[in-house]
Amino acid sequence: MTSKTSLWLALALGATLGGMTPTHAATTGAQATSDDPYLWLEATHAPRAMDWVKAQNTITEKAFASSPEFTHTYDQVLQVLDSDARIPYVERMGDFLYNFWKDKTHPRGVWRRTTLAEYRKAEPKWDVLLDVDALNKAEGKRWVFKGAQCLKPAYTRCLISLSPDGGDAVQVREFDTATRAFVKGGFELPVAKTQVGWIDQNHLYVGTDFGPGSMTKSSYPRIAKEWTRGTPLSSAVTIYEGKPTDLAVGAYHDRTPGFERDFITVAKDFFHTENFLRKGNQQVKLDIPSDASFDAHRQWLLVQTRSPWTVGGTTWPSGALLVTKFDDFMAGKRHFTALFEPDAHTALSSYAWTRHHLILDVLNDVKSRLDVLTPQDTGAWPSKALPGAPSFSTVSVVDTDPDHSDEYWLSVTGFLTPSSLERGVLGKHQAETIKHEPAFFDAAKFDVSQHFVTSKDGTRVPYFEIAPKDIKLDGSNRTLLYGYGGFEVSLLPFYSGSIGRAWLERGGVYVIANIRGGGEYGPRWHQAALKANRPKAYQDFAAVAEDLVKRGVTSAKHLGAEGGSNGGLLMGNMLTEYPQLFGAIACEVPLLDMKRYTHLSAGASWIAEYGNPDDPKQWAFIKTFSPYQNVKLGENYPPVLFYTTTSDDRVGPAQARKMAAKMEGMGYKKVWFYENTEGGHGAGADNKQSAHMHAMVYDFLWNELK
């Protein structure tokens, strides 16, 4: 789920729950209601709820984070996260390469920059612009850096986003890179889920919490305004006002010289957006499907379809990338040229502009391929493949310089191939490796393979397996199966020193399931598991689990599952619908109560994915995949660890809290819960918190799958 205040229900109910069976967790003391006796846990910071959290944390820490084995796992993971040999990934802005870096000395991180010549060195000299740890010490805060937007072409004025706890709500402050200080009297916005961007040095587009009624039901900005320097925020001029039921409203300015344009975006839901070209006080709606995405770049208009689109006498398939001249399109012409059309095995993952070319990132059965296209005024654009990468790898464009050059930066990574960062200039020289991550584990001991399994309805589903070369297919291998399956997010090959050290080197097998709901095969793969079809994603995951057993890789008692966010909902359904397939489950920052998810945090923004539970007809199918409603007494559920964070203002901690409390109230003994106070919808606000979470999960799974 993408980022972007939270709606919390303070429901402390006041007596003890009659008939609760005490387990390893503290009893809740809630008064039963006809529908949900655990609503009081939705009050995120209420003393009663936090007391319950603290008691749970103490028990879980004692069980899985107090042994010498945990300390070893934690140290191994933290060494990876804090390693000075990691690649400092950069973003070009003008003459400098910018990077944000966290390590042992700077747990909250430093925002810094250097030159290309310096970056090529083994140990570059960095110019530190903002030390977040020093800022926190000076202000007595615990800020978490959430990014910077700098005004081109000079890039001296930047809008810095800082979260007080790692959540999506941020404070925005104007920063001067020349003086390395925040601008006194400059642009500043209080903590909120804010959308902000430069128009010029004296004007911003801003959407934020302007007061009651200014945010959507999804907790994002409903109103876009233009704000002038030196004036109070209250005087900002409204340029568009959406509906409370919209997901979010925003505006942005394209500063490309000679092609300056202003756009307003009105997200109706997660997959449908209305787009407007702003001309003075006029707003001209772009005549493209609301479920398509668009990109106006110089003279070109790109449209990426998510459903078949008939335009100009041609019907284009979903997942196609089309191009036309922007001015021609706005004048009413509708002739498009296809730059990419998918087939049964391929999908467009992403694309990136350079000054004179367009780079396409294409997935072929979940493996990467890069193609370089050269724009032509008429007809097809010539295409040429960029050099390939190792088998079962992911090659992606991480940065370009579309205003000035054909420079491109590539990330190359694979399950057993430490990541590298390459730089090239199209038409001048091929990519060369600039940085290379060290090997954090001995990859020579392992093999990577891709397998396909037939799901319940006959669909062919791929999965990747990383296993010891000498694996015995006797069903005894502790195996961890990871999945997500939602929001058109693709799970691609990647290198993880943490997984290598904490799981593979112990002798474990690691598996990634490319189930429906994701984007591995484009929009069709995602749409196959929307709303009433959501259970197909779970059937796919179950089919992979069964195939691992059938092939002798593992057995149910040795097979664990892990997933977070939408993947946490996947885990909840594995727990309640397929408990016989797993020996343990790690369920992280999850959705679980699908009856109330739209009333918690940013939940209303995901109705297009899951459906609206407040509509009885839709609840009829949603309830079939709502773990909180489907957990039952007397079942043989595998051990489960629920992990969440107090500061998660996207999904929120309430769902994991309630699920753990409900299962414990039913008498289930092996139900564990842990809640970090910081980190937002992620693993932690710093490397130590992230290492603690990862180590706890891996040790829990390893112990339970023995």
Catalytic residues: 565, 681
Q: How far is CA 694 from CA 71, 76, 366, 681, 700, in A?
A: 12, 11, 26, 14, 10
Distance CA 313, CA 633 (A): 59
**What DSSP element (H or E) covers 654?**
helix 654-665
Distance CA 424, CA 431 (A): 4
- 380 in helix, strand or coil? coil
Report CA dihedral (564, 568, 569, 571) to the nearest 10 degrees: 130
Do 12 and 52 form a contact (C-beta atoms < 8 A)? Answer: no
Contacts 24+ apart (CB under 8 A), 154-163: 154/94, 155/93, 155/94, 155/96, 157/183, 157/198, 157/201, 159/187, 159/196, 159/197, 159/198, 159/204, 160/111, 160/130, 161/194, 162/132, 163/191, 163/647, 163/680
Q: What is the DSSP letter of 387?
A: P
Residue 182 phi/psi, 5-degree rounding, is: -70, 145
User: Residue 561 is encoded by which pair of tokens?
Assistant: 């599952």
- Strand pairing class (429-436; 358-364): unpaired
Going by C-alpha positions, the residue among 327, 339, 337, 232 that lies closest to residue 284 is 327
Strand order in the sheet with 417-425: 393-400, 407-414, 417-425, 429-436
Distance CA 542, CA 641 (A): 19
Alpha-carbon dihedral sign for residues 667, 673, 677, 679: negative
**Cα angle at 554 between 551 and 557, to 5 degrees?**
140
Distance CA 132, CA 645 (A): 21
Do 221 and 177 form a contact (C-beta atoms < 8 A)? Answer: no
